[in-house]
Amino acid sequence: MYFVTQKDLAVYSDAIKHHACPFCRKFGKLIFHGYLRGYAETSSVKIIRGRRIFCNNRKRSRGCGKTFSLLLPDFIARHTITSATLSTVIALLLKSCSPAAIAKEVLGSFSVRYIYGLLVRLTLRQSFLRSTLLTRRSYEDLPCADPLLQTLRHFISVFSGDTNPVSSYQLYFQTSFF
């Protein structure tokens, strides 16, 4: 689940015993299991990206024992890159910038190889993105030979008014962009 700010996450945290486990649907079994920490994209300092929640199955508690995450939408799950940087990369891809130009302009600490890896991930995630975006708005037929650019144009048209469309996508659909 994604939350807008740390404050929203804290409000959920205060009433954690009143929420049901998403797996076994039992109330009163959820406990905190630690923070999700990851490296910032510009330094080697670890930052908080969310919280881990555990459905307690220890001793006499009858939870399922599974864990899940409460995430902040400013970060991409399992990636160092932030959603704001990924939104900038998508905007530059739509302006027909080369991966080398994108790496030079946006990701000073990452290599061109990382941009190519992002392009591969975007290509592999393309069908899922299209199907989720179609639930919010139909696709306008734009003349473009590249299917990835068509998907990215549709993505930007759905979240056109937002300053960080990747973060808005994660909040709206409650799923990771990658």
**Do 33 and 63 sit in the same domain of this protein?**
yes
**Do 52 and 93 sit in the same domain of this protein?**
no
**Do 18 and 91 sit in the same domain of this protein?**
no
**Do 97 and 154 sit in the same domain of this protein?**
yes
Residue 15 falls inside a structural domain: yes
Residue 1 falls inside a structural domain: no
- Counting Cα atoms < 13 Å in the Cβ hemisphere of 15 gives 7
Confidence grade of residue 55 (pLDDT, cut at 50, 70, 90): very high
Phi (first) and psi of residue 65, to 5 degrees: 85, 5
Q: Which pLDDT score is estimated for 104?
A: 87
pLDDT in tens, 20-35: 999 999 999 999 888 8
Q: Which pLDDT score is estimated for 177?
A: 93
pLDDT in tens, 62-87: 999 999 988 888 999 888 889 999 99
Q: Which pLDDT score is estimated for 44?
A: 83
**Do 98 and 158 sit in the same domain of this protein?**
yes
Q: Which pLDDT score is estimated for 50?
A: 86
**Do 12 and 51 sit in the same domain of this protein?**
yes
**Do 27 and 56 sit in the same domain of this protein?**
yes
pLDDT in tens, 111-151: 889 889 999 999 999 999 999 999 998 877 767 788 999 99
Domain of residue 28, residue span = 6-71
**Do 169 and 87 sit in the same domain of this protein?**
yes
Residues 20-56 as b or e (16 or more Cβ within 10 Å = b): ebeeeeeeebbeeeeebebeebeeeeebebbbebbbb
Q: Which pLDDT score is estimated for 142?
A: 65
pTM of the model: 0.85
**Do 88 and 25 sit in the same domain of this protein?**
no
